Amino acid sequence: MAQHESHRDGLPAGDAVGQAKEQTSPDTQRDAQGCSVGVSGLGEGKTGGSAHEASQRDQVAFSGGASPSEEGAAAVRLPRVRQKLLAAEPLRVTLFGSSTTEGVGASSPATSYAGVFETCIRPYASGGLTVINRGIGGQGAAEMQARLPAVLADQPDLVIWQGGVNDPLTGVPLPRFEDMTRQDLQAICATGADVALMDLQWCRLLDECPAAPAFQAAVHAMGQALHLPVFPRLARMHAWGKELGVGREDLSPDGVHMYDFGYRLLGQAVADWVLTLAGIAQTRAIEP
């Protein structure tokens, strides 16, 4: 896509536009995207059918079959998201990252990670959902820290941080990445927002980068130290490869970016992960 050409992970960012892009398309424009259930359905291009209607909020199923009051609070990792969904209050999510978050390689905003994520979360957000896309390709910890005030100004209920890709590719020292990222995460947590992280991807450029494993480990170490959940993208991509019979280049065709196929898998998986961490069980129907 032309608007993405200057925003490439590991490549010069060019004249990146720092404006936030809110994913606010009407649901009727997203119906064709669908949300699959189970990896086999994803691989076959099948989409899940029955989404919850807003008026059916009280019929949402909860994990273990327990009522909201009966569930163990210790299992809930995203309490603010849970509270907003159960109370039918507006939910604001900021996606903060680089080209994966921006959607470089997607054929349209609706087929990007952010677009698919929004489509899959929206049926559960009967009080309204705003997904703010603050992804700019090619950026590392320093550039993301410079943009942190805009993220805080969003007043999000949930921030999904995605980073650590460009820093090893551009020779940023690991301690510098860790220090800046830790500061950012602590600042977001201080607002009361839920925070979740996403680790690195499976792609040729990172496989060939000797520094990448240390940054991958650092993301998980920070999540553990700050008690923040980390979406295991690298492990999931390897699992998709085995389960769907696809290779690394099928998921990241240009060596670093995910295209529609990979973004679809990622958006659905992250949405399911968020709902699970909020203690909300997914009850989508499985098409034959």
Q: Which two tokens stand for residue 271?
A: 């949405």
pLDDT of residue 23 exceeding 80, the answer is no
Compute the mean pLDDT over every residue in the chain, rounded to the nearest whole number: 79
Give the C-alpha separation, 43 to 239, whole Å: 12
Q: Which two tokens stand for residue 173?
A: 């020292």
DSSP letters for 92-157 = EEEEEESHHHHTTT-SSGGGSHHHHHHHHHGGG-TT-EEEEEEE-TT--HHHHHHTHHHHHHT--S
CATH of the domain spanning 37-277? 3.40.50.1110
Give the separation between CA 58 and CA 79, rounded to whole angstroms.
18
Q: Which pLDDT tens digit goes with each residue over 74-99?
A: 478 999 999 999 999 999 999 999 99
Non-local CB neighbours of 28 within 8 Å, separated by 6+ positions: none
d(CA 224, CA 207): 24
Residue of 212, 192, 191, 188 whose CA lies nearest to 200: 212
The two three-digit tokens of residue 157, written as one number: 């209920």
- Residue 274 carries which DSSP code? H
Indicate yes or no: pTM above 0.85.
Answer: no
The answer to whether 154 and 24 are in contact (CB under 8 A) is no
What is the distance between the alpha carbons of residues 270 and 160, in angstroms, rounded to a whole number? 10
Which DSSP helix (H) or strand (E) runs through 68? none
- Among 162, 174, 159, 164, smallest CA distance to 141 is for 164
Q: Whole-angstrom Cα distance, residue 86 to residue 278?
A: 10
Confirm if 181 and 148 have CB atoms less than 8 A apart. Answer: no
**Strand 91-97 versus strand 158-162 pairing type:** parallel
CA 89 – CA 287 distance, rounded (Å): 30
Quick one: pLDDT at residue 195? 98
Name every residue whose Cβ is closer than 8 Å to that of residue 284 and which is 6 or more positions away in sequence.
35, 37, 48, 49, 50, 51
Phi/psi for 161 (5° steps) reads -90, 130
Least confident of 62-71, 130-139, 171-180, 193-202: 62-71
- pLDDT, one tens digit per residue, over 96-141 is 999 999 999 999 999 999 999 999 999 999 999 999 999 999 999 9
Locate 20 and state its tokens.
């936030």
Q: What are phi and psi of 23, to 5 degrees?
A: -85, 90
pLDDT for position 154 = 97
Give 39-68 pLDDT, tens digit per residue.
323 333 333 333 333 223 222 222 222 333
Would the pLDDT of 11 be above 60? Answer: no
